[in-house]
Amino acid sequence: MKYKDRSMLKRIIDIMLWCIGRDIENSDGDLPLLFGFNKYKVPKHILGSNRYHISFYGYEIVLWGFGILVHDHNIGVFVNRHRFEPRIVEMEKLPLCNIWHISDVTNTREIRDDEFTKINIMLDLLFRVLYRYERWILAWKGYGYRSMCVEKYGYSISYYDTIKDTLLSYPPSLLIDRHT
């Protein structure tokens, strides 16, 4: 399978999770919680990342510092923060209550041709949620706040404009191409 604009999508996922990390530490409170995510704290005896869940059109989106999972409680797609290589997850084999570190995400596999449409829908929903979240951040905290987050990451604000423009520019059929 071939992923379209994989390097751009990888950078977007990486910078979005970076910015959400700054939003979690915000002086106004944990902004993802204010937006509507539910937070599950990593147990004190485990080295890992808290996770944030939100439901959207019958799907659940789960964020960690290391990646994102979109699922319908039967099947899901996991995207590692540092590479855009969506992987299928069968949810009965992945107990979310035990996922705190990237090494806990096991039993993933390649996307089969018969799953292509469903996975593109999930990825489309993911980008829609991220877009809505970013619009909410801009309304709540302002453009200057987000530009500061992006600049701390190491990009100029023009890169943030690219992210904003890109999040909804991927119709589902353009996210993953079946052909190599």
CA angle 81, 153, 172 (to 5 degrees): 40
CA of residue 131 relative to chain centroid, distance: 11
More confident residue, 83 or 125: 125
- Mean pLDDT score, 66-81: 94
The predicted pLDDT at position 174 comes to 43
Burial (CB count within 10 angstroms: exposed 0-12, middle 13-18, buried 19+), residue 84: buried
Domain ranges of the chain: 2-177
- Mean pLDDT score, 150-176: 61
The predicted-structure confidence for 7-58, as pLDDT tens digits, reads as follows 777 888 888 899 999 999 999 999 999 999 999 999 999 999 999 999 999 9
- Residue with tokens 């079946």, as numbered in its chain: 178
Give the residue from 6, 5, 28, 32 showing the smallest Cα distance to 134. 32
Q: What's the whole-model pTM score?
A: 0.85
